[in-house]
Amino acid sequence: MRMGLILGDQLSLQLPTLRVLNPQDDILVMAEVADETSYVPHHLQKIALIFSAMRHFANQLRQAGWRVHYHSYDPASDLKSLLAVVTHVQQQSPASEVVLTRCGEYRLQHSMDNHWSSQLGVPVTVFEDDRFICPPGWFQQWASQRKQLRMEFFYREMRRLTGLLMVNGEPAGGEWNLDHNNRNPWKGSPPLPAHPVEATDSIDQEVLALVQQHFSHHPGQLQPFYWPTTRAAALDELQRFLDQRLPWFGDFQDAMVTGEDFLFHSRLSAAINIGLLDPLEVCRAAEQAWQQGKAPLNAVEGFIRQIIGWREYVREIYWLKMPDYAQLNHLGYQRSLPRYYWDGNTRMKCMSECFRTTFDHAWAHHIQRLMITGNFALLAGIRPVEICDWYLAVYADAFDWVELPNTLGMVMHADGGLLGSKPYAASGQYINRMSDYCRNCHYKVKTAADANSCPFNSLYWHFIEENRQHFEKNPRMTMIYKSLERQKDEQRQRVQERARYLLEHLDEL
């Protein structure tokens, strides 16, 4: 008999572990354990989503004929870790081998590779996770042939590999990337779709009660709980997105509107990341919508690029560069994360709105993450490990392989430009252009040096001044430094003084 371990982000019948094992002879182990819920204070909804989806998937496996040993969360249990559960099962029902699929976190995979076999006394066999599109080993070879790594060129290779949006070997519409069409603010038209469907079955309710009882000290609200926890529910959510949101996703994917938490975004990333949806099937469905004339090319291309471009790229960067990658701090940032990242209370309207969305739904769309909460952390010089842990904790779709490169590299530029050729820094003018947040803010977005000026404005120019040695010769930032030099000395000094005051009083903003 062999033992297969199924993790909480591996809820797919196509998992390599299931393909190599035999339902008649082998046993599967799934476990809700304290160690995996508490290494960062995960959002209540994130814990509930994973526990409920795991329990649904265990039932699905049993119905398919598998024997499943399921360890439900119990704070009184002595089995606090995955290894403790596997050891316990091994003692009760000795297996000749433990089989698993590569997990999504270096921390856990390193432990499996280096300690599990000796402690269990049997081989531990790890299979590559081929649910991802990029073939194992392909990226390492591709990266070795380039002086600089850029997602755009990787994305084009993934388009060629999958054939997505390709016509006779060329990109549909004649362009690889249509992002220049996807930057419109939303001003009330077209009308927004209804909110997603709330999960209501008995397993969901049982898990929600458990999480409320044992994890109420974690951040976030537990309800409304909109997450699909079964494959069937995830497929329904995919179809609703294709019908109701995808046609306008491209035009308004960067827009932000007070009180409108979802706009035209899919919120499918969590279902994909835990295995309820296959990334390629999602992309094929979006492509079909374009082929059938139900969605424009700019929307479909932008959506597919997020999945076979960024999602695949950051995973490959993660496994190529870990573990050293997690410790990078290219700009030498050392400030602590301000308290409002945990309590949401700040007079900055854009930040408070993004925090509210985050704590209400364990979700915020990519521009809110990158250009609001992330941009502020970059401008304020927050220590990368602290903001990385925050993103990992508060978003339901955040797993280390996807969250760390996005935050440390794309948000914080702490990898020195490996992930992005320039920092994603912006003043309040960008926020004002893409949202309505500035209309009812305590601070004034039109000024930079006054006592009530938007903090993003002076902090932006402080960031540009302080990091001149890093960015002045970057061709993508030439115009910014020319603009800095055109500023009058008195105004420039006042802006810098305002920024220094803000940095000394970060928790008070």
* 433-474: pLDDT as tens digits: 999 999 999 999 999 999 999 999 999 999 999 999 999 889
DSSP 299-324: HHHHHHIIIIIIIHHHHHHHHHHTTG
Q: Is residue 415 part of a domain?
A: yes
Sheet (strand 97-101) strand order: 67-71, 27-31, 2-5, 97-101, 124-127
The larger pLDDT score, comparing residue 486 to residue 349, is at 349
User: Cα 314 vs. chain centroid, distance in angstroms?
Assistant: 10
Pairing type for strands 97-101 and 2-5 reads parallel
Q: Is residue 65 part of a domain?
A: yes
Sign of torsion, CA 436 437 441 446?
A: negative
416, 426 contact by CB (below 8 A): no
Q: Is residue 32 part of a domain?
A: yes
Q: What is the mean pLDDT of residues 37-54?
A: 95
Collapsing DSSP to helix, strand or coil, 474 comes out as coil
Q: Is residue 427 part of a domain?
A: yes
**Would you state the pLDDT for residue 184?**
87
**Would you state the pLDDT for residue 200?**
83
Question: Per the omega criterion (within 30 degrees of 0), is the bond before 279 cis?
Answer: no
Total number of domains constituting the chain: 3
**Would you state the pLDDT for residue 198?**
84
Q: What is the mean pLDDT of residues 222-243?
A: 96
CATH at 487: 1.10.579.10
Of the three residues 75, 106, 127, the one that is the final residue of a domain is 127
Same domain, 349 and 296: no
39: pLDDT confidence band, cut at 50, 70 and 90? confident
Q: Is residue 133 part of a domain?
A: no
Same domain, 313 and 361: no
Same domain, 12 and 87: yes
Asked if pLDDT for residue 146 goes beyond 90, the answer is: no
For residues 292 and 286, what is the distance between their CA atoms, to the nearest angstrom? 10
DSSP 361-378: HS---HHIIIIIIIHHHH
Q: Is residue 200 part of a domain?
A: no
Q: Is residue 102 part of a domain?
A: yes
Of the three residues 94, 127, 160, the one that is the final residue of a domain is 127
Predicted confidence (pLDDT) per residue in 243-279, tens digit: 999 999 999 999 999 999 999 999 999 999 999 999 9
pTM beyond cutoff 0.85: yes
Sign of torsion, CA 49 371 280 154?
A: negative
Same domain, 383 and 477: yes
Q: What is the mean pLDDT of residues 494-508?
A: 95
DSSP 345-357: --S-HHHHHHHHH
Q: Is residue 223 part of a domain?
A: no
**Would you state the pLDDT for residue 195?**
83
Asked if pLDDT for residue 359 goes beyond 90, the answer is: yes
Same domain, 378 and 264: no
| CA angle centred on 109, ends 108 and 115, rounded to 5° | 85
Which residues touch 191 (CB under 8 Å, ≥6 apart)?
Answer: none
Q: Which of 381, 384, 390, 413 is nearest to 502 (CA)?
A: 381
196-231 burial, b for 16+ CB within 10 Å, e for fewer?
beebeeebbeebbebbeeebeebbbebeebbbbbbb
Q: What is the mean pLDDT of residues 297-309?
A: 95
Q: What is the mean pLDDT of residues 182-195?
A: 88
**Would you state the pLDDT for residue 171?**
95
350, 426 contact by CB (below 8 A): no
Same domain, 59 and 169: no
Same domain, 60 and 168: no
Lowest-pLDDT range of 36-45, 135-144, 194-203, 248-257: 194-203
The two tokens of residue 47 are 């814990």
Asked if pLDDT for residue 181 goes beyond 80, the answer is: no
Same domain, 79 and 144: no
Same domain, 350 and 314: no
The two tokens of residue 57 are 């998937």
Same domain, 277 and 166: yes
CATH at 302: 1.25.40.80
Mean predicted lDDT score pLDDT of the chain: 94
Asked if pLDDT for residue 148 goes beyond 90, the answer is: no
Instruction: Provide the residue range defining the domain that includes 50.
Output: 2-127
The number of helices, as runs of H, and strands, as runs of E, in the chain is 26, 7
The larger pLDDT score, comparing residue 144 to residue 199, is at 144
- Percentage of the chain modeled with pLDDT above 70: 100
**Would you state the pLDDT for residue 364?**
96
291, 243 contact by CB (below 8 A): no
CATH at 70: 3.40.50.620
Same domain, 371 and 462: yes
Predicted confidence (pLDDT) per residue in 67-90, tens digit: 999 999 999 999 999 999 999 999
Q: What is the mean pLDDT of residues 402-411?
A: 96
Same domain, 145 and 288: yes
The two tokens of residue 153 are 């060129």
Of the three residues 93, 108, 127, the one that is the final residue of a domain is 127
Question: Per the omega criterion (within 30 degrees of 0), is the bond before 41 cis?
Answer: no
